[in-house]
Amino acid sequence: MTVAKSSGKTGVLFVCLGNICRSPMAEAVFQHIVETNGISDQFVIDSAGTSRFHLGDKPDNRSAQTCRDRGVRVNHRARQTQPEDFDNFDFILCMDESNLDDLRMLKPKGSRAHVALFGSYSANSGDAVIRDPYYGGNKGFITNFEQVTRCSLGLLEELGFDNVTASFS
């Protein structure tokens, strides 16, 4: 994988527990938004999980289908967060407080990554935590899609991309 540190690009790593629902969706939505706005060459984007539960698995079918239904491509295999991620990415953005606690414990001293809740980039205070939809129905995945879209736009605005829009089919 090309890493942000050596490429001069902004590296964004999305993290959830198993890397099969929320974080691959966030990765796919963010990638879609930067591609459709012509700024994908400025980013290195990936996702990972804090656990080893689903290593090598494709995203949950419900997560992938929610993306595909909106014209967003999903192409990922689950992986676990690694110590080098904290130097290779500028932003490590997680979905809930449990992920945040895990990442803070894993973060090596002196590493450069900004670790935060992805939901902190949304203007909607209800997005602070992006809840795990795994044990629920399709509605949770749709809610996640809406949340990661708002958070993606907020992150891009924070990075100075003020005129970015989200367009889905």
CA atoms within 13 A on the CB side of 47: 34
Catalytic residue among 60, 102, 127, 132: 132
Catalytic residue among 22, 62, 79, 150: 22
Residue 139, number of CB atoms within 10 A of its CB? 9
Task: Clarify whether 57 is annotated catalytic.
Answer: no
Q: Which residues pair with 94 in a beta bridge?
A: 15, 117
Residue appearing with tokens 């795990």? 132
| 63-90 residues labelled b (16+ CB within 10 A) or e (exposed) | bbebbeebebebebebbbbeeebbbbbb
Report the catalytic residues.
Answer: 16, 22, 132
